[in-house]
């Protein structure tokens, strides 16, 4: 009977042991697989990180190159825009004065006889005759020369033809009044380094324009503007003036030429400045690209974390609960066998 019980116990324990070994083996394999998966994941993460760093470096390099190129292109565009603005301003002034821009400026001559001589020596028959030249008094000739010198600073240096037209505007056409002009010449718009600085003296500037460049002038007419309109024009000119000076050039033409040009623009006078353009669009696109790259990088990061979480989710499969149950069952069976054997021995 004893042998039978031992045999039964062994037969009962054999499958349990085999089961335990199989589960232990499976557990070991699962751990190995999990470890391998973890290693693979780490490798993938490192590869992804390296790839991300490389792509970030490449993107940064490309962005830097693009930014440099964009800046260079922007500078070229700004220079071209400034040149176009200059050309339009010059053409507007030439049309108003009826005199072409020239490098042959008339000197600030104070001798009336010399002025008459210069007028007669030059071919001004299309403007005035010798008889008309002789009709002007010495003081009138000198007054016209003073005004020519000032307007030459306001716009650009005028030649003898410009002087002749100013002389006529004063004393023939009488669209300019020397009495009004003489009283305002103390104000000089050329003493300001930037148009925006004249806002504090906008009333004086307005009086200056009305005296030297009235809207009905036969020489250089500037549109009448309210105080606020003139301020808006000055605000618009200010950044243009800064750009011109920033490129290493002197501000040209003079401030009055620019005021005359932009005074004709309703939007500028009303303070509705046209949206700028190249700079904003380039910087805007660059910002969008950077934001897009950043967003893409941020979107990739959670995906990697999710992948790691999924892999790590398989790691706890160790089979510890099943091994504990088998051990307890084996101990109980062995205890029962030992109890039966001891009891039989006592009975004998």
What count of other Cβ atoms lies within 10 Å of the Cβ of residue 208? 22
193 and 253 part of one domain: yes
269 and 197 part of one domain: yes
Mean local confidence (pLDDT), 2-10: 55
How many angstroms separate the CA atoms of 104 and 117, rounded?
17
pLDDT for 214 beyond 70: yes
269 and 195 part of one domain: yes
pLDDT for 273 beyond 80: no
pLDDT for 12 beyond 60: no
Residues 44-95 pLDDT 10s: 555 555 555 555 555 555 554 444 444 444 444 566 778 888 889 988 888 8
Mean local confidence (pLDDT), 325-338: 78
Mean local confidence (pLDDT), 190-199: 95
Residue 141 φ/ψ region, left for φ over 0, alpha for ψ in the -120 to 50 degree band, beta for the rest: alpha
Mean local confidence (pLDDT), 290-319: 46
Residue 81 lies in a domain: no
How many angstroms separate the CA atoms of 212 and 184, rounded?
9
pLDDT for 184 beyond 90: yes
List, in order, residues 6 or more apart from 240 with CB less than 8 Å away. 82, 85, 258
Tell me how long the chain is. 348
Mean local confidence (pLDDT), 305-312: 46
Residue 93 lies in a domain: no
Residue-wise DSSP of 35-75: HHHHHHHHHHHHHHHHHHHHHHHHHHHHHHHHHHHHHHHHH
How many angstroms separate the CA atoms of 106 and 96, rounded?
19
Residue 180 lies in a domain: no
List, in order, residues 6 or more apart from 99 with CB less than 8 Å away. 158, 159, 161, 162, 165
Report the pLDDT value the prediction gives residue 297, as an integer from 0 to 100.
43
122 and 145 part of one domain: yes
259 and 299 part of one domain: no
Both structure tokens of 214: 């009235």
The mean-pLDDT minimum among 45-49, 228-232, 323-327, 334-338 falls in 45-49
When divided into structural domains, the chain yields a total of 3
Residue 137 lies in a domain: yes
How many angstroms separate the CA atoms of 82 and 89, rounded?
10
Report the pLDDT value the prediction gives residue 276, as an integer from 0 to 100.
40
What count of other Cβ atoms lies within 10 Å of the Cβ of residue 22? 12
Mean local confidence (pLDDT), 333-345: 80
Q: How confident is the model at residue 250 (pLDDT cuts 50, 70, 90)?
A: confident
Both structure tokens of 261: 């040009």
How many angstroms separate the CA atoms of 203 and 200, rounded?
8
Mean local confidence (pLDDT), 217-231: 96
What count of other Cβ atoms lies within 10 Å of the Cβ of residue 231? 19
Q: How confident is the model at residue 323 (pLDDT cuts 50, 70, 90)?
A: low
pLDDT for 40 beyond 80: no
328 and 296 part of one domain: yes
Report the pLDDT value the prediction gives residue 272, as an integer from 0 to 100.
85
Helix H segments across the chain?
A: 2-97, 112-121, 130-135, 138-154, 160-171, 178-184, 202-212, 227-246, 255-262, 266-269, 278-312, 320-347
Q: Which of 219, 245, 276 corresponds to the end of one domain?
A: 276
Q: Which of 246, 276, 306 corresponds to the end of one domain?
A: 276
How many angstroms separate the CA atoms of 207 and 57, rounded?
60
Angle in degrees, 0-180, between the axes of helices 112-121 and 160-171, rounded to the nearest 10: 120
CA-nearest of 324, 304, 217, 235 to 271 is 235
Q: Which of 126, 143, 174 corresponds to the end of one domain?
A: 174
The angle subtended at Cα 12 by Cα 11 and Cα 16, nearest 5°, is: 115
Residue 257 lies in a domain: yes
Enclosing domain of residue 261: 187-276
Report the pLDDT value the prediction gives residue 146, as an integer from 0 to 100.
96
Report the pLDDT value the prediction gives residue 205, as an integer from 0 to 100.
98
Q: What is the pTM of this model?
A: 0.58
Mapped onto helix, strand or coil, the DSSP state of residue 192 is coil
Residue 80 lies in a domain: no
Residue 90 lies in a domain: no
Report the pLDDT value the prediction gives residue 315, as an integer from 0 to 100.
47
* Backbone angles phi and psi of 219, in degrees to 5: -105, -70
Report the pLDDT value the prediction gives residue 332, as an integer from 0 to 100.
82
Q: What is the mean pLDDT of the chain?
A: 74
Residue 82 lies in a domain: no
């Amino acid at each position: 009977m004893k042998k039978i019980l031992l045999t039964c116990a062994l037969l009962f324990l054999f499958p349990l042991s085999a089961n335990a070994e199989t589960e232990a083996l499976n557990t070991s394999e699962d751990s190995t697989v999990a470890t391998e998966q973890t290693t693979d994941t780490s490798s993938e993460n490192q590869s992804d990180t390296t790839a991300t760093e490389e792509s970030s470096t490449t993107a940064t390099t490309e962005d830097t190159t693009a930014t440099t190129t964009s800046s260079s292109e922007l500078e070229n565009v700004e220079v071209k825009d400034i040149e176009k603005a200059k050309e339009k301003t010059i053409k507007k002034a030439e049309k108003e004065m009826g005199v072409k821009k020239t490098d042959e400026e008339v000197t600030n001559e104070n001798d009336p006889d010399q002025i008459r001589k210069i007028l007669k020596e030059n071919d001004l028959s299309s403007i005035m005759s010798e008889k008309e030249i002789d009709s002007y008094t010495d003081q009138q000739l000198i007054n016209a020369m003073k005004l020519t010198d000032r307007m030459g600073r306001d716009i650009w240096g005028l030649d003898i033809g410009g002087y002749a037209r100013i002389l006529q505007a004063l004393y023939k056409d009488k669209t300019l009044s020397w009495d009004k002009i003489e009283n305002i010449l103390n104000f000089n718009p050329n003493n300001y380094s930037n148009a925006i600085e004249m806002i504090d003296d906008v009333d004086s500037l307005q009086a200056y324009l009305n005296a030297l460049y009235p809207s009905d002038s036969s020489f250089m007419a500037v549109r009448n503007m309210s105080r606020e309109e003139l301020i808006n024009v000055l605000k618009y000119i200010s950044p243009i003036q800064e750009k011109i000076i920033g490129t290493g050039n002197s501000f040209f033409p003079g401030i009055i030429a620019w005021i005359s040009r932009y005074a004709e623009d309703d939007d500028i006078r009303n303070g509705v400045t046209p949206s700028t353009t190249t700079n904003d669009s380039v910087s805007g696109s660059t910002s969008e690209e950077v934001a897009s790259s950043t967003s893409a990088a941020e979107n990739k990061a959670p995906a990697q974390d999710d992948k790691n979480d999924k892999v790590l989710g398989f790691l706890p499969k160790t089979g510890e609960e099943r091994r504990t149950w088998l051990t307890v069952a084996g101990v109980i069976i062995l205890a029962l066998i030992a109890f039966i054997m001891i009891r039989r021995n006592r009975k004998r």
